Structure 1
C-alpha cells in the first residue's frame, strides 16, 4: 500500500485520480472502492464486502452530518473543541484526537472514517482489512506489510517505505503534507507520516507535526512535538532531500 500526502492546493490531475492506488498490491485480498460524496475509500478485504462498506460509510457520514448540523463550529474550528458526551461515537473519537493533537477535530476525519469502516468490516467477517481514505490508512493484516510514502516532488518520494510487522496490527498509518493533496497544512513538509493504534489520533497528529515543519527550521522540533503525544508510536518527516524519523519505525528502500 502507498501512503498519499495531503496538501493545501488541489492538484487537478493526479490527486483527483488518486494514481497512487495503482501501486497497491492486494496481497491476496479483494480490492474495491467506495465513493460517497467527499468520502473516497480504497479497501482491501478478505472477502467482497462492498455493500457492508457502503452501508458503514453512510452510517458514519450520517452521524457526522447530523452532529455538524447542530454544531457548525465542528467543521470550521482549527483549535480543539470540548469533549461532548452526547455526541455519536465517531464524533467523540475526533474530538478526543483533536484535543490530544491541539488541532481542530476535522483534522482527524479521514483517519476516523477509515478505522470505523474497517472495524465494521472485520465484524462482518473480513478476516483482514486495509482501508485507505485519502492517504490515511487503517491496516489490520495477518502478515507483514510495507507502506510506501509518496512525497510529491521530493527525490525520496516512493523510495522510502515503512515495514509493518503483523504483530503491530491493527495500526493507523496517516500522512499529511504542505505540498500535495487537498487538506489544510500550515507547514512545508512533503510528507509527515504518523503511526498509532488510534487512526484518528495518527491523522490529527500528522496535521500537528506537518504544521510545525517551517522554512529555515530543522525537523527536530516537529519530531519532538509528535513524540511527546501519548499513543504515538512513530513519526517520519520528508522535506525535499531531508528525512527525519522517531519511534518504532523500520524504514526500507523502495524501487521508486
Structure 2
C-alpha cells in the first residue's frame, strides 16, 4: 500500500459534529479518523478499532505478497474463494466498476471498520480514510467538499439524507493515489463505500467533461457524482451542494 501524504488530513478540521467524539487509529500507512456519538464511546473503543485495522492490513499484505498482481493491477483480478473477506470485497467491487482492486482499499478498510462498530452496537458513525468517507447516520449530514481550490475549500459541502453512504474522491491534483485523468476532483456517492471508492477512481480517469458524464451514466450503482474539470463543475444524479459559510 502506498504511503499517504498529508494533503487530505485538513479535511478533519472542517468536521464539527455536536454530540460526537472523534479519535484516530493509525497502522503503517493507514491513518483513519472515526467519529461516534459521545454516548456510544467507551475507553477501549480506539484499541478495538486499531486491532481491527491491523488485522485488515495484515490480511491484505499477506495476500498481496503471495499474489502481487492484486496490488498492482489496474484491471479486475480474480481471487480464490477462500481469500480473506476484505480481498474478496475489493475484488468484487473492482469487477463491478472495471478497475484494479486496490482502487477500493480505503473504502474497504472503512467498510470493515464500520462493520466492527456495528458488531459493537454502534450504528451511528463517520469514518474518514484519506479523504474517503463512510457515514451511517439516522439524520441528514453534510460533508465538506475538498477540491484543492482555495476559494472553494471549506465553503461548499454535500448534503446527504439519513442512511449509509460511501462518499469517495479521486484526484489527479491532490493526494497520493494514481489517476490517469484530468480531474481536479471526481467524487462518487453510493450506498457501498467500496463501490464508491472504485467508482471515484474510474471517474477520476476522465479527461474531459463529456467523458466524465459518459462514465457516470455507465455506473448504475452510483447515486450521485460530482466532477471538477477545467475549473467547471459537472454534477450527475443525486448530489445536493450546500454553502457552508
Whether TM exceeds 0.5 here: the answer is yes
Q: CA-to-partner distance for each residue in 1:183-206, whole Å, 9 max, x for gaps? A: 111112111110111111110110
Q: CA deviation at 1:221?
A: 2.2
1:222 aligns with 2:212: yes
In the aligned structure 2, how far is the partner of 1:155 from the partner of 1:240?
A: 15
- State the SS of the aligned residue for 1:182: coil
Structure 2 distance, partners of 1:36, 1:9, is: 11
**How far apart, in 2, do the equivalents of 1:115 and 1:67 lie?**
19
Determine whether 1:44 maps to 2:35: yes
Structure 1 residue 242 displacement after superposition: 0.5
Query: Which whole-Å CA distance do the structure 2 matches of 1:148 and 1:58 have between them?
Result: 28
Aligned to 1:4: none
* Partner residue, 1:135: 131
Q: Secondary structure at the match of 2:59?
A: helix
1:28 pairs with 2:19: yes
For the pair 1:251 / 2:241, whether they are aligned, the reply is yes
| Larger deviation, residues 50-59 vs 33-42 | 50-59
The aligned counterpart of 1:91 is 87
Once the two structures are superposed, residues 153-180 of structure 1 have per-residue CA deviations (whole angstroms, 9 ceiling, x without a partner) of 36433332111111xx211110110100
What is the CA–CA distance in structure 2 between the aligned matches of 1:95 and 1:136, rounded to whole Å?
18
1:160 equivalent to 2:192? Answer no
1:9, distance to aligned residue in structure 2 (A): 11
Residue matched to 1:199: 193
Partner of 2:202: 208
The higher-RCO structure (CA 8 Å, 6+ apart) is 1
Q: 1:15 aligns with which of 7, 24, 35?
A: 7
Q: Which residue of 1 aligns with 2:108?
A: 112
Offset at 1:227?
2.8
TM-score by length of 1: 0.87
| Secondary structure of 2:159 counterpart | strand
Matched, 1:171 2:162: no
Structure 2, unpaired ranges of 5+: none
Alpha-carbon distance between aligned partners in 2 of 1:158 and 1:188, rounded to the nearest angstrom: 22
1:79 is paired with a residue whose SS is: coil
Write the distance in 1 (CA, Å) between the matches of 2:23 and 2:153.
25
**Is it true that 1:60 corresponds to 2:56 in the alignment?**
yes
Q: Displacement of 1:224 after TM fit?
A: 2.5
TM-score, length of structure 2 as denominator length? 0.91
The 3 A distance-change label for structure 1 pair 227 and 110 is: same
